[in-house]
Amino acid sequence: MTQVLDTKFSPVDIEARKKLDLRAGDTVRVWQKIKEGDKTRSQAFEGLVLARKHGTEAGATFTVRKVSDGIGIERIFPLYSPVIEKIEILRRGGRVRRSKLYYIREKAQSEARRKMRQALYTAPKEETPAE
């Protein structure tokens, strides 16, 4: 006869992650443990939540997008990953009407193109010395 022990094997507080009300449109900071050689350090990834998939089940994931040096970076994090130390919700998504915000990728591209055009047309003119 085997006994079932009521112990947790996971280093992740599953109940706290389940209760985390993470939605598309929120701005979050995800602290991740990174192992380099024999040392571990924490690194933050801050950005906009584009999507949350698979609800609160074991394979739940969320996609975070940030723009670094004019380049869009997206990362998909497993919700219950032991690599994630903590998830901080910095700002709630105000008026979001969709559950998946993938259209922001194209919106950011067109905005970048517009800024490039403005920079081209408003190039500084050379000044002529006054006589």
Instruction: Find, among 101, 32, 34, the residue nearest to 63 by Cα.
Output: 101
pLDDT of 18 over the 70 cut: yes
For residue 47, name the pLDDT band (cuts at 50, 70, 90).
very high
Beta strands in the chain (DSSP E): 27-36, 39-53, 61-68, 71-78, 84-91
Amino acid 10: pLDDT: 65
For residue 4, name the pLDDT band (cuts at 50, 70, 90).
low
Task: List, for residues 28-46, the tens digit of each pLDDT value.
Answer: 999 999 999 999 999 999 9
For residue 112, name the pLDDT band (cuts at 50, 70, 90).
confident
Question: What gap in Å lies between CA 118 and CA 109, rounded to an integer?
Answer: 14
Phi-psi region of 129 (alpha: psi -120 to 50; beta: other; left: phi over 0): beta
Neighbours of 62 (CB within 10 A): 23
What amino acid occupies position 38? D
Domains of the chain: 14-122 (2.30.30.790)
Amino acid 8: pLDDT: 55
Residue 30 pairs in a beta bridge with: 45, 87
pTM, two decimals, is 0.75
